[in-house]
Structure 1
């Protein structure tokens, strides 16, 4: 809550800014979207919802110390979401609450500081930092503190997803599980699982900007299809783990037309390579694919923030 420390800021303004910073997780500066994202995480895991709030609060407080109150990032509530994602990662990969809480706070602090530095470094290429700070910080502590995966996220809903042979034999029966899996593909954006969490995130996008809800769902479905063609198993497809990077990439590159499809394919390829190497990709595929497209496709006649999904609703 970077605004909250100023005496002239009302509680309503502070809470709205805080909620907007959470909405930036799905590239929307919208308070209602932020509230729905918290609800999505809460319905999956109250523990993770607490982590989300702790990380977002830590990020906003640290940002109020290291950044100017009139900076672009502060005005557009871009500080809290990397802290939130860093804290979510800590609670997702560490089972012990005390250890997870300590790592979450420290990770949120470092992710926010790194976001500030990367914002300055990437200005020359007119690139947003997206979730890269949270990813980099998580990769740093992951080998030291993470617990072995329980497999719960992968197994959720696995029985509902048919194999490719079944799809070819009865394509009409494939669409209901595909739609459910594409919906669930939005949930891992906030380290959650299930179609209910995905539906709430889709609602958050619709409330902020209806076309973005369509783009995210279509991106998740396309990512799911590409992963299926790449040999991903039924459990992984049904869990939603194959859709979230494609959905985020669809949001961040939609203004580049056909290049957005190339970005989604590139993001999926990165995911497949990371899975083969056994490296947790997190949202790195989305970040890298978005950067590549934006570096090579950006039109020089457009201002740096033209169509930037991070500032689509400055008054929301």
Structure 2
């Protein structure tokens, strides 16, 4: 009986750790967050949910093989989320299911192996790796394998208060390559489960990011679809602990980077979030040093 109990406890701990690694997609080491994020992807697309699991599992296996038991990746449940993001990108940009699965596995393995190297390199500057490994790996295969089908035109939308609120929630869904206010609502619920303030910052970042994109000339239909909020929401989550000033600076930077990338025809993915977050972290650190001096 004691052996069974120990086995159940080990299985339960493994599942919780795996869920926490998925929660790291939205910068939260929280099992409930991971469960809600997965539910959001599942409600948006069972196909994408399979991709998320494939990538997270591949990342887990690679990390267990390549990292020591006391490594930060295992200790802080950082092993699955870049693999999951890399796999989600494959299932998003490749239509053929078998090809998407093959690329997803290879991309997840590559992103996880790259994550260890980047984490060690960035640690010299006290910067987190965030989603940079998944971005780099996805950029490597997209020019060769991504399908270039036409995206259907978005219909007219009403600029009501309800539509604006839905757009703020929908802006969280593209973090996991999903779409729609329902998927974004699950992501927000996951953040709420971790800490209510995190959900507030993410929704505020999504809304502000969309507003700034609107000032930059983005189409109303695109703005209200939620497609313009996810990078700003992620920056808000990353920079909020540094203070509201840095969060707002980071959001503005992410929007500018995203607008430039869109104008150049580059699939920015979450690169604006990563670059803006690194910048505000460095600015905050420099400001603290100046205050000490």
TM range (shorter): over 0.9
- Structure 1 residues 82-97: aligned runs within 5 Å: 82-97=82-97
Give the CA deviation at 1:231.
Answer: 0.2
- Structure 1 residues 1-316: aligned runs within 5 Å: 10-151=10-151, 155=154, 158-162=155-159, 173=160, 175-257=161-243, 258-298=245-285
The answer for the alignment partner of 1:311 in structure 2 is none
Structure 1 runs (4+) deviating above 6 angstroms are: 299-302
Instruction: Quote the Cα distance in structure 2 between the aligned partners of 1:184 and 1:149.
Output: 23
Alpha-carbon displacement from aligned partner over 1:196-232 (angstroms, at most 9, x marks no partner): 0010000000001111000000000000100000000
Instruction: Quote the Cα distance in structure 1 between the aligned partners of 2:158 and 2:103.
Output: 35
Secondary structure of the residue that 2:156 maps to in structure 1? helix
Measured on the aligned residues, the alpha-carbon RMSD in Å equals 1.7
CA contact (8 A) 2:114 2:133 kept: yes
Give the CA deviation at 1:160.
Answer: 2.6
Give the CA deviation at 1:301.
Answer: 7.1
CA contact (8 A) 2:63 2:73 kept: no
The answer for the alignment partner of 1:305 in structure 2 is none
Give the CA deviation at 1:124.
Answer: 1.2
Give the CA deviation at 1:148.
Answer: 1.2
- Aligned CA distance change for structure 1 residues 17 and 300 (closer, same or farther; 3 Å): farther
Q: How many residues align?
A: 282
Q: TM-score, normalised by structure 1?
A: 0.86
CA contact (8 A) 2:209 2:232 kept: yes
Give the CA deviation at 1:300.
Answer: 8.5
Secondary structure of the residue that 1:159 maps to in structure 2? coil
Instruction: Quote the Cα distance in structure 2 between the aligned partners of 1:239 and 1:110.
Output: 32
Instruction: Quote the Cα distance in structure 1 between the aligned partners of 2:105 and 2:112.
Output: 11
Secondary structure of the residue that 1:160 maps to in structure 2? coil
Give the CA deviation at 1:8.
Answer: 11
Instruction: Quote the Cα distance in structure 2 between the aligned partners of 1:144 and 1:151.
Output: 19
CA contact (8 A) 1:93 1:149 kept: no
CA contact (8 A) 1:60 1:79 kept: yes
Give the CA deviation at 1:71.
Answer: 1.1
Instruction: Quote the Cα distance in structure 1 between the aligned partners of 2:158 and 2:67.
Output: 47
Secondary structure of the residue that 2:69 maps to in structure 1? coil
Give the CA deviation at 1:256.
Answer: 2.1
Q: TM-score, normalised by structure 2?
A: 0.93
Instruction: Quote the Cα distance in structure 1 between the aligned partners of 2:149 and 2:76.
Output: 36
CA contact (8 A) 1:161 1:237 kept: no
- Kindly indicate whether structure 1 or structure 2 has the higher relative contact order, using CA contacts under 8 Å at least 6 residues apart: 1
The answer for the alignment partner of 1:313 in structure 2 is none
CA contact (8 A) 1:161 1:234 kept: no
Q: Considering fraction of residues, name the structure with more helix.
A: 2
Secondary structure of the residue that 1:10 maps to in structure 2? helix
Instruction: Quote the Cα distance in structure 2 between the aligned partners of 1:202 and 1:183.
Output: 7
Instruction: Quote the Cα distance in structure 1 between the aligned partners of 2:53 and 2:108.
Output: 11
- Aligned CA distance change for structure 1 residues 149 and 239 (closer, same or farther; 3 Å): farther
